[in-house]
Amino acid sequence: MDRKDAILQHRTSLPIASVEMRLVDEVRKHDTIIIVGETGSGKTTQLPQYLSNAGFCFDGKVIGITQPRRVAAVTVAKRVAEECDVQLGQKVGYAIRFEDVTSRSTRIKYMTDGLLLREALLDPILSRYNIIIVDEAHERTVHTDVLLGLLKKVQDTRLQKQKLDKLDLNNLIQFDNGSQSSNTKLTPLKLIIMSASLDAKGFSEYFGGAKAFHVQGRQHPVDILYTYHPEPDYVDATLIMIFQIHLEEGPGDILAFLTGQEEIESVDRLVHERLKQLPEGSRNVLTVPIYSSLPSEHQMNVFKPTPVSFRKVILATNIAETSVTIPGVKYVIDTGLVKVKNYNPVTGMESLIIVPISKAQSLQRSGRAGREGPGKCFRLYPESEFWKLKDSAVPEIKRCNLSNIVLQLKALGIDNLLEFDFMEKPSREAITNSLQQLYLLGALSDDCKLTDPVGFQMARFPLDPIYSKALILSGEFKCSEEMLIVVAMLSVESIFYSPREKLEEARSAWKRFSSSDGDHQTLVIVFRAAAEYLKKIKAATSKTKAIEKNLNRWCSDNFINNRSLKHALDVHSQIKRHLEQIDMSLSSCGDDMLQFRKCLTASFFLNAAEKQPDGSYRVKATGQNVQIHPSSVLFRSKPDSIIFNELVQTNQSYVRTISRAWSPGLVSYYD
């Protein structure tokens, strides 16, 4: 059977295939429907194709499908392009931040929910789309929640406009009989909310009693296995499980869910250490990491076919939890934990914490095992713990800083946020806090309107408002080159890396880069040293492999995390491109580091802290007591006033990525 026939056979065997006509019919009859169907039943890949084939893309209109994560948008689009036998970017395409693989002929467009929100800034009634499918709505990312409210509004506006158009048309018919043109009138916006584990009732109520449709059945069974007792050390339990599967189970790749980059890297190392203890014939294991701050080309490594006679072990965060199909995966290891943002509206601080997943998430995780055939999911917790999990996770909107979202809604003309139709309203405190933060950043005026040009410019930047402001300000302080580097380096996970046993060696290597002014300038020095080195090797060779090998060696000699550095280089060029698009020219402050410090202070003054007599620091905006994290270059010198970028909550409150503040600047902000 050739590839085309195999795909056709696969498509017709999916559970959703038997209800194609009914689904199309339901979409024709209703403006909003909710579809709940098991993982792997074919919702994400098939429904857009059914709707396109049924003629919903008339007049060049597009079916948009949103995903909470970039990797899902990209891989699903690739798969659907293959199923439709078209080149990616033609009939089927995708768009994610900084990457648009669509064209005028695109009719099925996968994208992140955040990207569709940005599109609404330019086209508030989303006129290109006939249908929007909000996929994996159970994840309740802040973007999904805002999008739902916005889409409801767009549906209303389009209905109103359509009524007006009809009136106009009637007038035209009355006054000018033959002049009706076939110009493209707005159609109602069809909205489909989809997931495998959705609180269909809650969504239906929110959409005024929208009809919920259940797709029955799954393609392949997944066996769920639990531990007898809770595991005291889930990292160790994961390692044991990986080896148990490798040595005792049949062929098939393993997907293990962990909580973050550092944990993934340490499991990766430990797997390789333990492999050395196995007989040579059993060492055929390949580990592949995937987490959100990994550069996308490295993320895609998990989708590459496993070499013959090898077993692939994918070490993932929840980034691989929904929508994706990783070929070859037969076994899933679920630690039952996830790292999430947590926001304290009283202190206005956001931090990352590890919490148990929800039932919906565990269902998604096990669903990754039954994509190509029967699978097994090993839950590293007892069944009794599973029943104690929440049905679904707390929506992100309830636990994150809302400044970015508030800024975007303001740019969309939604001024009264307290009256915005959120599915679940964020707390009044969280909204007022973000309004206050945006006001202090100069994005809002006294009467809470977006300022022109600063507020509008900030809304256009695909960055956190505090970083957008820093970049805008850096133009004034003539240090935009340095600030661009800082923003890129702060957008990736830990640049510095050292194995525990080599900590002293690493510290002395880092001294070469360290600046007595603080971590921001240190990051600039590291970035420039790497860029300089890269330039040198590129002048000596054009071979990609040789360049990569040399850069990796440079990173390991200097105890720099090569993946994070490459990601930072990538983000740097992406933001640079964006600055060029908005005609912002770059300038360097050269050796005038005071200029840079002034700019850092002016940009990050919301995160300023003053030294206390006992050597701890008091955050000026909130009064919270914090310590300088030992990883900071200022850990020993402890200057009187600092600005910082990160608050880490362990048994103590630490601040990380710190610079000496330019004190006169701070005084003017707080007096």
Ligand X SMILES: Nc1ncnc2c1ncn2[C@@H]1O[C@H](COP(=O)(O)OP(=O)(O)OP(=O)(O)O)[C@@H](O)[C@H]1O
Residues in touch with ligand X (CB under 6 A): 14, 37, 39-46, 75, 79, 196, 219, 322-323, 325, 327, 367, 371-372
Crossing angle of helices 234-248 and 261-275, in 10° steps, is 40
Judge whether 313 and 289 are in contact, CB under 8 Å.
no
Residue (304 or 543) nearer to ligand X, CB: 304
Residue (64 or 426) nearer to ligand X, CB: 64
Residue (39 or 318) nearer to ligand X, CB: 39
Q: Is 416 left (phi over 0), alpha (psi -120 to 50) or beta?
A: beta
Residue 77 phi/psi, 5-degree rounding, is -60, -40
Cα dist from 623 to 107, 343, 626, whole Å: 53, 16, 9
Give min distance, CB of 37 to ligand X, in A: 5
Give min distance, CB of 331 to ligand X, in A: 16
Residue 386 phi/psi, 5-degree rounding, is -60, -45
Burial call 486-519: b when 16+ CB within 10 Å, e when fewer:
bbbbbbbbebbbbeeeeeeebeebbeebbbebbb
Give min distance, CB of 189 to ligand X, in A: 22
Residue (318 or 322) nearer to ligand X, CB: 322
| Bridge pairing between strands 329-334 and 375-379 | parallel
Residue (44 or 112) nearer to ligand X, CB: 44
> Which of helix, strand or coil describes residue 244?
helix
Residue (14 or 313) nearer to ligand X, CB: 14
Residue (75 or 155) nearer to ligand X, CB: 75
Q: Rounded to an integer, what distance in angstroms lies between the CA atom of residue 332 and that of residue 575?
A: 36
Give min distance, CB of 43 to ligand X, in A: 4
Give min distance, CB of 80 to ligand X, in A: 8
Give min distance, CB of 432 to ligand X, in A: 37
Give min distance, CB of 328 to ligand X, in A: 10
Give min distance, CB of 66 to ligand X, in A: 13
Give min distance, CB of 46 to ligand X, in A: 6
Give min distance, CB of 313 to ligand X, in A: 19
Q: Rounded to an integer, what distance in angstroms lies between the CA atom of residue 269 and that of residue 22?
A: 51
Judge whether 238 and 256 are in contact, CB under 8 Å.
yes
Residue (366 or 653) nearer to ligand X, CB: 366
Give min distance, CB of 11 to ligand X, in A: 8
Judge whether 519 and 657 are in contact, CB under 8 Å.
yes
Give min distance, CB of 327 to ligand X, in A: 5
Residue (303 or 461) nearer to ligand X, CB: 303
Give min distance, CB of 12 to ligand X, in A: 12
Closest CA to 359 of 331, 381, 330, 341: 381
Residue (194 or 430) nearer to ligand X, CB: 194
At CB < 8 A and 24+ separation, what contacts does 569-572 make? 569/488, 569/527, 569/530, 569/531, 569/534, 570/295, 571/487, 571/488, 571/491, 571/492, 572/484, 572/485, 572/488, 572/527
DSSP state for residue 320 in the 8-state scheme: G
SS (H, E, C) 221-242: CEEEEECCCCCCCHHHHHHHHH
Q: Rounded to an integer, what distance in angstroms lies between the CA atom of residue 170 and that of residue 168?
A: 5
**First-to-final CA distance of the chain:** 76
Residue (191 or 575) nearer to ligand X, CB: 191
Residue (65 or 526) nearer to ligand X, CB: 65
Residue (73 or 254) nearer to ligand X, CB: 73
CB count in 10 Å sphere of residue 25: 12
Using CA atoms of 594, 596, 598, 601 in order, give the dihedral in degrees to the nearest 10.
-130
Helices and strands (DSSP H and E) totals, the chain: 23, 21
Q: Rounded to an integer, what distance in angstroms lies between the CA atom of residue 563 and that of residue 69?
A: 20
DSSP state for residue 135 in the 8-state scheme: T
